[in-house]
Amino acid sequence: MKKINPAPSFKNHFESSQQHKTDSMSGAQFILKKLELLGIDTIFGIPGSHIDPLVTASLNTNMTTVIACHELSAGYMADGYSRSSNTLGVVFSISSPGSNNLITAVNTARIERIPMLIISGDVPIRFSEVPAFQSGNHLGSNDDELFKVITKYSNRVSSIEVLDTTLERAITEAFTPPFGPTHLIVPYCVLEETINKIPTSINLKALKYQETKNSTDTVSLLQSLIQRNKKLVFWIGDSFNTKEQEEQIFDLA
């Protein structure tokens, strides 16, 4: 496990090159800024050519970028971060061999309902119809279909114009009950292209505790049981693990 600490000369050069881009940002910068607005301070992953613009852009943020020894380790780190911080776990990799190495960790997050965002970089869009090296398209490892089975939402960002809405959807789906992992395939060219939008935040807490028909019915049933019975035993699952939840159950008891 390794935290990126860029050499001063490289970082200074990188920061200097960004001073002239105040009115716009790259797709990679947009993604990272969106995550920062959500309060995410750490991301995990493995660098590689298809995802390198995201890794490079992370040098100019306040987030810590943790480089693991293997994608599977990075996936479990993001899972643990989500559990311990009660927010979104983020992991990145290249497509095909990199993203495929994440499958066990992602499937665990699905089973245990852990909010995670998986970002896999892919070959540029111009190579989408050829069997390019380490491609995640339908002529390669077919990551589009592979991740649809083990995530709540999986989509390919087809252009820089839809990056904002697709990223918003992925984050929203991860934090909409029942929680779980979501996946975005972001081609290299989209990470590098300029987007003329300002990222906005999302109220994750409002998503997490939004009222649904199922939750309303459950509360009504619980209220009825409490009114009819003086002695109750609460059997609580392992997803009930935050200080706030603990205080709420003690208040109820």
For 74-94, the pLDDT digits (tens) are 999 999 999 999 899 999 999
Regarding pTM above 0.85, the answer is no
Domain shared by 226 and 191, yes or no:
no
Please list, in sequence order, all residues whose beta carbon lies within 8 angstroms of the beta carbon of residue 86, skipping any fewer than 6 positions away.
Answer: 242
- Segments forming the whole domain that contains residue 94: 2-206
* Tokens coding 119: 């970002």
Angstrom distance (rounded) from CA 182 to CA 179? 10
Domain shared by 217 and 175, yes or no:
no
Q: How far apart are the first and last CA of the chain?
A: 43
Mean pLDDT across the chain: 85
Residue 170, pLDDT score = 97
Residue 15, pLDDT score = 46
Would you place residue 141 in the very low, low, confident or very high pLDDT band (cuts 50, 70, 90)? Answer: confident
- The residue among 18 and 150 whose pLDDT is bigger is 150
Give the phi and the psi of residue 94 in degrees, each rounded to 5: -80, 170
Domain shared by 223 and 137, yes or no:
no
Q: Report the helix count and the strand count for the chain, using DSSP H and E.
A: 12, 9
CB 191 within 8 A of CB 55: no
H/E stretch holding 237: none
Domain shared by 141 and 191, yes or no:
yes
Angstrom distance (rounded) from CA 8 to CA 17? 14
What are residue 182's DSSP bridge partners?
117, 153
Tens of pLDDT, residue by residue over 161-192, are: 999 999 999 999 999 888 999 999 999 999 99
Angstrom distance (rounded) from CA 132 to CA 222? 55
Domain shared by 246 and 197, yes or no:
no
> What CATH number did the domain enclosing 168 receive?
3.40.50.970
- The residue among 244 and 6 whose pLDDT is bigger is 244
What is the four-CA torsion angle of 77, 43, 159, 120, rounded to 10 degrees?
A: -30
Tens of pLDDT, residue by residue over 121-136, are: 999 988 878 777 888 8
Task: Quote the number of domains for the chain.
Answer: 2
Angstrom distance (rounded) from CA 191 to CA 120? 11
Instruction: Indicate whether 159 pLDDT > 50.
Output: yes
Q: Of 175, 190, 206, which residue is a domain's last?
A: 206
Rounded mean pLDDT, 219-236:
77
Residue 226, pLDDT score = 78
Domain shared by 14 and 132, yes or no:
yes
Domain shared by 115 and 227, yes or no:
no
